[in-house]
Amino acid sequence: MANIKSQIKRNRQSERSRVRNKGIKSEVKSNIASFDKAITDKDKKAAESTLKKTVKSLDKAASKNIIHKNNAANKKSHLTKKLNSIS
């Protein structure tokens, strides 16, 4: 346990941001999972709509520095390639 006042405050702040980040990361993972399910079912229409939602959540996470912007770009690229492969 921290004794220094500034460290106590920093611990509170980091705990709040950890919980916030956890929710956003979970949303991204859920969107990717539902996209993968649509890909496995070969449902192109559902995959396209899910991809749109997933890209939005990845951009949101990258803009808030929860994930790195290049990480988000790589994920979007891989998901788009998957979508294009199921023609």
pLDDT for 87 equals: 66
Tens digit of each residue's pLDDT, the chain (87 residues): 789 999 999 999 999 999 999 999 999 999 999 999 999 999 999 999 999 999 999 999 999 999 999 999 999 999 999 999 986
CA distance 76 to 54: 8
Assess contact for 55 and 27: CB atoms under 8 A: no
pLDDT for 53 equals: 96
Q: For residue 60, which of 49, 45, 75, 48 has the smallest C-alpha distance? A: 75
Neighbour-count burial of 61, counting CB atoms closer than 10 A to its CB (0-12 exposed, 13-18 middle, 19+ buried): buried
pLDDT for 2 equals: 83
